[in-house]
Chains A and B, each alone.
Chain A
Amino acid sequence: MLPELIKRRLIKLVGAENFKDSNVSKLAYSYDATPQFQAMPDAIISPRNKKEVSQILKLCNQEKIPVVPRGSGTNLSAGTTPLKGGIVLLFNHFNKILEIDEENLTVTTQPGVNTLELMKAVEAKGLFYPPDPSSMKISQIGGNINENSGGLRGLKYGVTRDYVLGLEVVLPNGDIIRTGGKLAKDVAGYDLTRLFVGSEGTLGIITEATLKLVPMPETKKTILALYQDMDAAARTVSKIIANKIIPTTLEFLDQPTLKVVEDFSQIGLPTNVKAVLLIEQDGERASVENDIEKISFICKENHAVEVKVAQSEKEADELRTARRSALSALARLKPTTILEDATVPRSEIAKMVKVINEIAKEYDLEICTFGHAGDGNLHPTCLTDVRNKEEIERVEKAFEKIFEKAVALGGTITGEHGVGAMKAPYLYLKLGEEGISAMSAIKKAFDPNNIMNPGKIFAKSKRKRVVVNQTP
């Protein structure tokens, strides 16, 4: 609970309508899209401008009150679960696109703007903002930046990081700084912009961002390649890249995932094959035709049983939308869905898929796999039931093994969902103790009192992460 005096000061700052601490409000902000994590905040605050953000942080820093910034709460690493209580900071008043600069090809926006709305706004001007996490209909730009989100177009266009040019950040001590800007070139000192991207709300509050735009690609083509053999599908991925073609999108879905996705989307996806690749290319008409032809050829050469080209944008869009619903559709099968984010160099995709299946068998678990095959980012997803304690233990062990294997193959423990609280116990696998101390030194420099999103990224102990269920 917040001391009465602090509560009054906060209310005075933001106005009573922007301060909430009823039981229902606290409960509704106690979770995000991550299964098994829940903890109550002490209050929920919606500041109206950066000055208020600065004053709130100053106060919280003095009083050592945790601050958990929250976009739309769609993250999958328990990044917005208020593990140590404190205040949840919302950005519903930061919902304006400030400028679309057609000369410099940039957009300047507040963090609370919805990702899809931003995309649509720039597309209306013939420009293109490529990062497209599957949650884009719901997520906010501020959340994307802090998770460094990627999406279906990540293979060719990169992830959010590659589009953030400049930021306005409020630091835990209340200082407001600006990093980067509209410049294409800028080497004045450390690259703080990149430091804040993917910082998961642990270093400061982003109150404004300038993002890079690119011209809208002239055309786009989508194909679906069907396989009776998972290995063949995985091999195709490596082969396409080895042939020096970089598709916009190269997604992988295994059979169980296909089945549920079709069950939800009802667009006539084939459910009698073992795996499919969803592949897209965009760019100039002629080169797209050319690439698609080559890709189709490579697919067939690698034993695709069929290669289908989407006949219309509607059909292509249905395929994309279906792919984006994969995670939530899987949730239909069992009460609890635990999705992971293991990533390997793309040449190792086939090996990794195989390993995941073996581990699933070894621990007698149902693990479906889909993901951004083109960038080596797989989402092994375990279908289970939290009420089955014994099984959850096995899930725990299986995932630990999967991570170890991913890192051994030159990969990482998370490709896009961030470390948060969920992956914190595994960070050492990727960084080693030295890496972690280098990171904590940075954290201490910015946030000596550890008020910014405490409990995230840095774990108290290694391993054991499941069942943190901290309900009040």
Chain B
Amino acid sequence: MNIEQRSKIQKEFQEKMDYDELLNCMRCGFCLPSCPTYLETSDEVHSPRGRIALMKAVVDGDIEPDEDVKKSLDMCLGCRACEPVCPSGVNYGHLLEQARDIIYQNEKLSISTRFIRRTTLKGLFPYQNRMITMTSLLGFYQKSGLRSLTRKSGIMNLLPEHLAYMEKVLPDVPSKSEMKNRPRHFEPVGQKKKRVAFFSGCLMDTLFLKTNGATTKLLQYAGCEIVIPENQACCGALQGHSGEKNQAKEMAKRNIQAFEDANVDYIITNAGGCGSFLVDYHFLLKDDPAWTDRAKQLSEKIKDITRILVELDFHKKPLHIIGQIITYQDSCHLRNGQKTYTEPRLLLESINGSHFVEMKDADRCCGSAGIYNIIQSDMSMKILDYKMKHTTATGATTVVTTNPGCLLQMKLGIEKEGLSKKMKAVHIVDLLLEAYETALTKEELTDINEQSKISV
């Protein structure tokens, strides 16, 4: 960063940062023991208290916003584990978002980073059809024999270790027509209890289409009529968290419009990260008075899949899977952003024939954090190592997650530890669907499915 940039950033810090919120931090340090990057480094610079102090110091003019300030903020996972433990109620997530936005906006990126940013955040994620094309390319690679060729060629060995694993853990891609022609309206099984919209997500509706399918099925079984508004956009979290705020705002507006039109009781999400970003739209749009209220109304309707399932007593239905030891990895955003952590556990504990074991520090981030595991791979892998230690200690055969990023990260952890023969990672809805369908007899299942025209 040159002098000009630094003084511009400083000025914007003074204009845009929420100073009251910065003062709210009384430096008690209660947040230190829950911050993964502090625990890894024992360095105040990489603690929430330290980061807040740095932001305040930049505003106060005590230090310049130099590379080291940026490094400290970059090292933050954004997991928000520091928020629920803060007795002063400091809204750290918002402070981080504001600060990052200012820094990234003023940053001279290297050509390659700019290229990656532009192609992915601006040119890819916002457009579902492009996501589909991109994902099918991956599918082509997986199916055409290119994959085994690449693997044999040893080219993967040239990549950083964890990226090579990443290639292995990506799920098999659905066909292009499956992605393009996904159904958009579903009838409930039995009596209709709620009408809901499903926020299908960008990555979830391509790479994880199967999991989205399981989600709608569960909702049907639970008695929901479901619509999937066609003009919804990706939630904007990746853009919002990487300093592409304007792009995120555009997407937020599109979503608000799309879901208002759907006229539903709830909007269901099945990805912790997306869910909590949607819940926070009013903060994103706080300078846009025409939209803040509409955003508030949207956020009141957002509900994680596990919450509605519990609300509709799904955990009291017969659920059965034999002989698994199940453990649960909290999605940071689901837990710290949406305060949802009892429901997934209740659902998992209700599965008969298996055994639920809580892992130590289940609420500690797995190190995935959006694209953190690619950009901050060293720290990410350290955090993952810690996570895997406690996952393994439970003796689990199944690690359950509630967010696609965490799911991939846990798969990566399993692969990295060489545990893929003993342990698998799944999204909670896939497991619940399996549990429910296992508990039914064949006849019951066909019966139900015919009734509700669920394609099996």
Task: Give residues in A with beta carbon < 8 Å to B.
Answer: 22-25, 27-35, 72-74, 90, 92, 114, 135, 137-138, 264, 325, 327-329, 331-332, 335-337, 386, 471-472
Q: With the chains together, A471 CA to B58 CA distance in Å?
A: 12
- Check B29 for interface membership: any CB of A closer than 8 A: yes
Instruction: Known A-B contacts: A23-B64, A24-B69, A332-B88. Give 5 more (CB < 8 A).
Output: A28-B43, A28-B44, A138-B30, A328-B28, A336-B26
Contact B26 A328 (CB under 8 A): yes
16 A-B pairs (CB sep. < 8 Å): A23-B68, A25-B45, A27-B53, A27-B57, A27-B63, A30-B53, A74-B28, A92-B42, A135-B28, A135-B29, A137-B33, A138-B33, A328-B88, A331-B24, A335-B20, A337-B26
Q: Mark B22-48, 1 if CB is under 8 A from A, else 0.
A: 011011111011000000001111010
Contact A24 B62 (CB under 8 A): no
Question: Which residues does chain A contribute within 8 Å of B27, judged by CB atoms?
Answer: 31-35, 73
- By size class, the interface of chain B is 20 to 34
- The A/B interface has a contact count, at CB < 8 Å, of 92
- Check B230 for interface membership: any CB of A closer than 8 A: no
Known: A28-B50, A31-B53. A74 touches B24 (CB 8 A): no
Residues of B117-151 contacting chain A, CB below 8 A: none
Interface residue from B33, B44, B62 paired with A29 (Cβ < 8 Å): B44
Pick the 6 closest A-B CB pairs, nearest first. Answer: A328-B87, A331-B26, A331-B88, A28-B44, A24-B68, A335-B23
Question: Which residues does chain B contribute within 8 Å of A29, judged by CB atoms?
Answer: 44
> Chain A residue with minimal CB distance to B51?
A28
Interface residue from B24, B50, B53, B86 paired with A335 (Cβ < 8 Å): B24
Q: With the chains together, A328 CA to B90 CA distance in Å?
A: 11
Question: Which residues does chain B contribute within 8 Å of A34, judged by CB atoms?
Answer: 27
- Check B54 for interface membership: any CB of A closer than 8 A: yes
The distance from the CB of B67 to the nearest CB of chain A, in whole angstroms, is 9
- Check B171 for interface membership: any CB of A closer than 8 A: no
Question: Which residues does chain A contribute within 8 Å of B72, judged by CB atoms?
Answer: 24
Q: With the chains together, A335 CA to B69 CA distance in Å?
A: 24
Question: Which residues does chain B contribute within 8 Å of A114, judged by CB atoms?
Answer: 33
Known: A331-B88, A472-B62. A24 touches B24 (CB 8 A): no
Interface residue from A25, A135, A332, A471 paired with B62 (Cβ < 8 Å): A471
> Chain B residue with minimal CB distance to A35?
B26
Question: Which residues does chain B contribute within 8 Å of A73, judged by CB atoms?
Answer: 27, 29, 44
Known: A74-B29, A138-B29, A471-B60. A24 touches B45 (CB 8 A): yes
Interface residue from B32, B60, B86 paired with A72 (Cβ < 8 Å): B32
The distance from the CB of B436 to the nearest CB of chain A, in whole angstroms, is 32
The distance from the CB of A122 to the nearest CB of chain B, in whole angstroms, is 19
- Check B318 for interface membership: any CB of A closer than 8 A: no
Question: Which residues does chain B contribute within 8 Å of A264, judged by CB atoms?
Answer: 87, 89
Q: With the chains together, A110 CA to B268 CA distance in Å?
A: 51
Contact B24 A332 (CB under 8 A): yes
Q: With the chains together, A329 CA to B88 CA distance in Å?
A: 5
Question: Which residues does chain B contribute within 8 Å of A135, judged by CB atoms?
Answer: 28-29
Q: With the chains together, A72 CA to B28 CA distance in Å?
A: 10
The distance from the CB of A469 to the nearest CB of chain B, in whole angstroms, is 10
Q: With the chains together, A135 CA to B49 CA distance in Å?
A: 15
Question: Which residues does chain B contribute within 8 Å of A328, judged by CB atoms?
Answer: 26, 28, 30, 86-88
> Chain A residue with minimal CB distance to B46?
A28
Q: With the chains together, A248 CA to B123 CA distance in Å?
A: 64
